Amino acid sequence: MEKITLNHPDSQSANLVTQHIEQLSQLFPEVIKEGKVDFEALQDLLGNYTDTLEERFQLNWAGKAQARREAQKRSTGTLRPCPEESVDWNTTENLYVEGDNLEVLKLLQKSYYKKIKMIYIDPPYNTGKDFVYKDNYSDNMANYFEISGQDRSLGTNTESDGRYHSNWLNMMYPRLKLARNLLTDNGVIFISIDDNEVANLKKVCDEIFGEENFIGQISVLSNPRGRQSDVHLAAVNDLLLIYSKNSYLAKINGLPLTDPQKNEFSFYDETQDDYYRLLGLRQRGVASKRTDRPEMFFPIYVNPDTLEISFLHKEKWEIVFPRKSDETDGRWMWGKAKCESDIKRLVAKKIERRNEFDIFVKDYLHKEDTERTRKFTTIWNEKRYNNQVGTQEVKALLEGDFMSFPKSKEYLVDICLMGANNESIILDFFSGSATTAHAVMQLNSEDGGNRKYIMVQLPEATPEDSEARKAGYKTIAEIGKERIRRAGKKILEELKVKQAKEGALFADEPKKLDIGFKVFKLDSSNINTWDSSPSNLEGALYNSVQNIKSDRTEHDLLYEILLKYGIDLVQPINEHILAGKKVYEMGAGALIVCMADHVKPEVAEAIVQLWKEVKPKAIDESSKAAINCRVVFKDNGFDDNNDKTNVLQILKQHGIDNVVTI
């Protein structure tokens, strides 16, 4: 029975270096020699390029090599569950993680590798006023404890610092590198930024995601009045960079054509049970002159009172010809015969600025075309995208002015529409006031989707004299969590009202809206480390026997096991009492955990019976069972080695070979 210690691979985050070597060996097996890369052989395969570093086009800065190494460094931390701060702990599929996003991204590598369809982040813009995470690469967990314990403040990064841009790049590089690993092969990432670092950000993203995977850049009207504090020009816009993991597989969704608020298919015809838009009957563009198609130039008569249309001359009815904007004769898009046969599709409208009538055609969406969309543009200048709108949303929900210019909910709704589908997992690891979570819940309530979110936020302290601190919010994370709680309740109430009006019973819905979230907090591992310091010899000897920290619970340990074994943190966990001991089972018996003391062989017999009951029927008790079932015990949960050996043998007899202790 193998014992899992703090130095064991299973107690750490994913080994990205090993993964990279394995991927390279699949492409070019001949360049892997004794588990290491033969760079000379690899260079030969790639064309034996001999240009020097000085001649190569690339982005370099002070600390880049260290930042690259940091992205591959493994974490021994864990995420501790906090059910008391959560909503619908037992049923929700959403996560809120409080902690330094660098360490959290490392810890998510096993459980969420290639599972995130969309990432959105709004990182610090490096304006000299916002803070920059100044990572201590020698010990990031110690660095995090200083921040979360408020032992030191998060510093700003001013231009007087000789490494002004380097500090920001060193912060962003490892986080983006780790984020890319989490994206599905068709996943996309959206990054908000301003002019200050957009050039550097694009170069970094070109390197990490590949230039060929650049999707585009959107200019967003975030502050219509402009920042008057700017030196020369009052900036009114932010930028949104979009990259895919693989541009051949990625799909950027458009706006649904049936959305009356966001596109031209805003009319509904009850007689046809279909949406439609109005298109001008007059031909525009190429071949739009009367001389091009003389037979398509004819009068149409309109009753000015009833807007009835006729092709026969009638007294006191308005005569409409297809006039071009330069007052020359044009032509209609349809011939007279088609106009007469489809007269029900024609609509007359008075054009006030011209003081005359014009003819339009009802262009139906048709039920078979409900998947049609309209592409988003590269300029977003609608009021609903303004940061001031976001400020008012948070202010209304929390009843106080607690956040400065967060992104608006509708801004994130449209980003989610672009980058995610109805079943996607959406990650935001600079989550701030949790606008992304709010947008995901709102979107699910509107279209019945089942999108899930993961929010990650550093417990950054609110200023001592701020309105947020006076209201009891000590950190930005507390503001984010409370916003989700209140937003979820509000959305649910609005949905119930809407469904009541439509005659639906909410309780009868097959799948209820998920407004919950599980809270986890970054912490050191639940497993004690060996401290060889002479001053702490007694404590070290105790820890070597009692290897689980005394202030940690079974659930703390259970979720560390899930995290380190790569199991989804929202995976349902079933509790059983077997032979008088509590046993946790999940994933149809893929993982069975017993953290009890005084474990006897009868517990193993009961675990075998449980496994037979819950395992998929297609799996028998042969060697396949060992692959599909892992059993974990506490190392000091046995009274002696005889009990441990007997338990192991019983499990092996039934094909369960994957048994470990921690």
Instruction: Taking residues 45-50, report their average pLDDT.
Output: 62
Q: What is the number of other CB atoms lying within 10 angstroms of the CB of residue 17?
A: 12
pLDDT for the residue numbered 533: 45
Q: Which domain holds residue 35?
A: 2-57
Neighbouring residues of 424: CB distance < 8 A, sequence distance ≥ 6? 117, 118, 451, 452
Of the chain, the end-to-end C-alpha distance in Å amounts to 10
* Residue/partner pairs of 390-397 with CB below 8 Å, 24 or more apart: 390/433, 390/435, 393/435, 393/438, 394/433, 394/479, 394/483, 397/483, 397/486, 397/487, 397/490
Q: Are residues 281 and 379 in the same domain?
A: no
Q: Are residues 365 and 379 in the same domain?
A: no
Q: Are residues 280 and 139 in the same domain?
A: no
Whether 95 and 518 have beta carbons less than 8 Å apart is answered as yes
Q: Are residues 95 and 235 in the same domain?
A: yes
Burial of 557 (0-12, 13-18, 19+ CB in 10 A): buried
| Residue-wise pLDDT tens digits, 159-177 | 656 577 898 999 999 999 9
pLDDT for the residue numbered 23: 78
Q: Are residues 420 and 287 in the same domain?
A: no
pLDDT for the residue numbered 150: 45
pLDDT at residue 341 above 90? Answer: yes
554 belongs to a structural domain: no
63 belongs to a structural domain: no
pLDDT at residue 106 above 60? Answer: yes
Q: Are residues 45 and 106 in the same domain?
A: no
pLDDT at residue 9 above 60? Answer: yes
Neighbouring residues of 151: CB distance < 8 A, sequence distance ≥ 6? 145
Q: Are residues 187 and 223 in the same domain?
A: yes
Instruction: Taking residues 42-60, report their average pLDDT.
Output: 65
Q: Are residues 196 and 275 in the same domain?
A: no
Q: Give dist(CA 306, CA 302) in Å, integer.
A: 8
206 belongs to a structural domain: yes
435 belongs to a structural domain: yes
Q: Are residues 383 and 362 in the same domain?
A: no
pLDDT for the residue numbered 373: 76
Q: Are residues 102 and 134 in the same domain?
A: yes
Q: Are residues 167 and 307 in the same domain?
A: no
Whether 129 and 488 have beta carbons less than 8 Å apart is answered as no
- What CATH number is attached to the domain comprising 498? 3.40.50.150
Examine the fold and report which residue of 369, 404, 419 is the final residue of a domain before the chain moves on. Answer: 369
Number of domains in the chain: 4
| Residue-wise pLDDT tens digits, 585-644 | 988 888 999 999 999 999 999 999 999 898 876 555 444 444 578 999 988 899 999 999
452 belongs to a structural domain: yes
621 belongs to a structural domain: yes
Examine the fold and report which residue of 369, 402, 420 is the final residue of a domain before the chain moves on. Answer: 369
Examine the fold and report which residue of 354, 369, 384 is the final residue of a domain before the chain moves on. Answer: 369
pLDDT for the residue numbered 598: 94
543 belongs to a structural domain: no
pLDDT for the residue numbered 531: 41
Q: Are residues 52 and 82 in the same domain?
A: no
| Residue-wise pLDDT tens digits, 111-130 | 999 999 999 999 999 887 66
64 belongs to a structural domain: no
